[in-house]
Structure 1
Amino acid sequence: MDKENYEFLTEKLKYSGFEDQLNAALKKEIQSGKEEFSLPYQVNLEGKQMDMDLSFKKSQISDRYFFNKFEAKLQNPETGQEPKTHTFYQNQGITVKEAFNLLEGRAVEKSLLGADKEPFKAWLQLDLSKKDEKNNFPINQFHEKYGYDLKEALQKFPIKELQDETKMDWMLKSLKKGNTYPVVMERKGMEEIMFVEANPKFKSINVYDVNMNSVKNSEILGAKQTVSSDQKEGLGTDKKKELNKQEKTGKSVASDEMPGQKAARPRKSRGRAI
């Protein structure tokens, strides 16, 4: 057995979210010398079961093996719906949790290589309404040139975590992996726990209440916000005086008046694609 090859594959599995649970089975299959083999894996996430089948193939010119792809099948026992299946290839760099999020209909940001081998970032999202000739869901890709700025989209909403740089970074990293993230947000003058997720197609975010019911953007964007001292630092003297005067008179400033933000027009949000 090629020990270096085995260690490389176990590292690959670890950073793909399989940890070390498949290491023993992997070693056994490599030692068998088979031309190709597959390893089963099962995980439960958010009350749903996802079964995976990992495919390995031996090189034609050496004893080294390659982890090429894995098929994921997501099923929700509570709904009884037909399982959703899709094959993820290793050049996409999709992890276990990202595969789950994609099959849930959410978008994931990945660093990819173009045909010219130049790296670029893009948001990936499965079109769960149909299958292609390989029985996979078509992948919608929103290139960085598409112009979706997640941070800018979040800043249009009165999200409390945006006031803390560290919490904002955690939120951005999680959302870029396709997760739904809990936040504290103001609605109708009251702070509520809500959940948000990235929506690159419409250059916005999806918002849900604590029961995961979709919340219209207009319910949130219609709220007024005061401007923080940090935000004031980016304003000119005249604008600062105007803000201070408004605050003294009990008025507040709408979020679309903040520096560096475009006016937010209320519109209906899209619910989660399933």
Structure 2
Amino acid sequence: MNLNNLENLKDELKALGFPKKLAEDMEKNMQNNVPEFQLRHNLPADKGQVDMQLHFRQSGQSDYYYFNKYSVTLNNAKPLEADQKYLVISPGDQGKPVFRKFDSPHEAISYFKQQKGNSELASGKDVGHKTTLATMENDKVNFVAKDFQKTFYSPAVTQNVYVEKGQGFSAEQSINLIQGRSVYRDDLLNLGGQPYKAWIKLDFDQAKDRFDNFKAKQFHDPSYGFDLKAVLDKYNIKELADPKQREKLEESLKNGNRPLITTVKDGQEVKLRIEAVPRYGQVNMFQENGKPEKREQFQVAVKNDPLLEKGKNTQKHLSQSRGVKV
């Protein structure tokens, strides 16, 4: 095993925000000289679960490994408890069932649908402690649990994310992109190799490209005109008064998160979640349970604010955006 290669790959995973456990699993595969392998990671989404699969490949001429992409899948299934898995169970010889475990509902459903004869899709710790989600009889699905039907019949949302030497969209950014939010990159390069900055958002309204990826919209900074600092200053947000808290808030928004803020509603201090929406030159606000709030009620009263007018009219004057490879 090339120890320099191992160290570099560990640094890349860390830079992209993947947990230490994945680096440990990667090292085990490299020690065993596995020519090609995948590592899996999943996290809860606003609605459902995000599954990530990291792809590693060994060079055909040496023991050097490459990590050039990972895939992100958004499922609307409720995340399982820590000790549970998805199980696809089929009859085995001598009446003993055979089963296969999955972390991802998307992969479990896909595998279940490929079965022949009789089969069962379940969740639980093991076959003896399971909850049936779907069943198949004589090659046909004959039952899907009511609270699992949306997950079973709705296609998952997927995207491949390309990285190079630890540079690219981080795990945190990709999780937010696949949920429809915008993220900020200050390390992009145009075709001429010149650096630039932009907010990026996946375009779910267009067909995928030939690599089975959604295209992306770019809102260039500063030419597009979305100034996050100026927009935040229009609102009564307690955290803005503390430089360190403000920096943390802005960084979280740039990564596509919906961080908690403190503001005032009906004379009472309340916690809300906030999201950057560069396309419309604004931010959106939500209650902690995800219910939208009208942002205007939290604005600092300023008349004839050109930034406010821009936020209201941006949709009518959207500039064309170029695609970006993710």
Query: Fold match, TM over 0.5?
Result: yes
Find 1:126's aligned residue among 202, 213, 220: 202
Is the Cα contact below 8 Å between 1:188 and 1:219 reproduced in 2? no
How far the C-alpha of 1:71 sits from its partner, in A, is: 0.7
d(CA) in 1 for partners of 2:47, 2:278: 26
Alignment RMSD:
2.8
How far the C-alpha of 1:214 sits from its partner, in A, is: 1.7
Instruction: Within 5 Å, give how 1:23-172 maps onto structure 2.
Output: 23-33=23-33, 35-45=35-45, 48-59=48-59, 62-78=62-78, 80=151, 81-91=154-164, 93-110=168-185, 111-132=187-208, 133-144=210-221, 145-172=223-250
User: Which amino acid in 1 is paired with 2:184?
Assistant: E
How far the C-alpha of 1:183 sits from its partner, in A, is: 1.1
User: Which amino acid in 2 is paired with 1:264?
Assistant: L
Deviates more, 1:156-165 or 1:44-53: 44-53
How far the C-alpha of 1:45 sits from its partner, in A, is: 4.7
Match of 1:264 in 2: 308
Match of 1:178 in 2: 256
Match of 2:19 in 1: 19
d(CA) in 2 for partners of 1:104, 1:186: 28
How far the C-alpha of 1:219 sits from its partner, in A, is: 3.2
CA deviation profile, 1:162-187 (whole Å, cap 9, x unmatched): 22222111110110111001112234
How far the C-alpha of 1:10 sits from its partner, in A, is: 1.2
d(CA) in 1 for partners of 2:182, 2:271: 22
3-state SS of the aligned residue for 2:193? coil
Match of 1:9 in 2: 9
How far the C-alpha of 1:38 sits from its partner, in A, is: 2.5
3-state SS of the aligned residue for 1:255? coil
Identity of aligned residues (%): 32
d(CA) in 2 for partners of 1:18, 1:183: 26
How far the C-alpha of 1:75 sits from its partner, in A, is: 1.2
d(CA) in 2 for partners of 1:218, 1:269: 17
3-state SS of the aligned residue for 2:20? coil
Is the Cα contact below 8 Å between 1:217 and 1:269 reproduced in 2? no
Match of 1:209 in 2: 287
Deviates more, 1:113-122 or 1:197-206: 113-122
User: Which amino acid in 2 is paired with 1:19?
Assistant: P
Structure with the larger strand share:
2
Check 1:256–1:66 CA distance in 2 against 1; reply closer, same or farther (3 A cut): farther
User: Which amino acid in 1 is paired with 2:227?
Assistant: D
User: Which amino acid in 1 is paired with 2:190?
Assistant: G
User: Which amino acid in 1 is paired with 2:308?
Assistant: A
d(CA) in 2 for partners of 1:163, 1:202: 25
User: Which amino acid in 2 is paired with 1:112?
Assistant: L
The count of aligned residue pairs is 236
User: Which amino acid in 1 is paired with 2:217?
Assistant: N
How far the C-alpha of 1:20 sits from its partner, in A, is: 2.0
How far the C-alpha of 1:89 sits from its partner, in A, is: 0.6
Match of 2:92 in 1: none
d(CA) in 1 for partners of 2:59, 2:288: 50
Is the Cα contact below 8 Å between 1:217 and 1:268 reproduced in 2? no
CA deviation profile, 1:64-98 (whole Å, cap 9, x unmatched): 22210001112121463432111111146222221
User: Which amino acid in 1 is paired with 2:302?
Assistant: S
3-state SS of the aligned residue for 1:134? coil
Is the Cα contact below 8 Å between 1:73 and 1:86 reproduced in 2? yes
Is the Cα contact below 8 Å between 2:55 and 2:67 reproduced in 1? yes
TM-score, structure 1 length as denominator?
0.75
Check 1:255–1:25 CA distance in 2 against 1; reply closer, same or farther (3 A cut): same
Check 1:45–1:64 CA distance in 2 against 1; reply closer, same or farther (3 A cut): same
Check 1:160–1:269 CA distance in 2 against 1; reply closer, same or farther (3 A cut): farther
Check 1:210–1:58 CA distance in 2 against 1; reply closer, same or farther (3 A cut): closer
Instruction: Within 5 Å, give how 1:213-252 maps onto structure 2.
Output: 213-221=291-299, 225=300
Q: Point out 4+ residue stretches in structure 1 off by more than 6 angstroms.
A: none
User: Which amino acid in 1 is paired with 2:197?
Assistant: K
Check 1:57–1:159 CA distance in 2 against 1; reply closer, same or farther (3 A cut): same
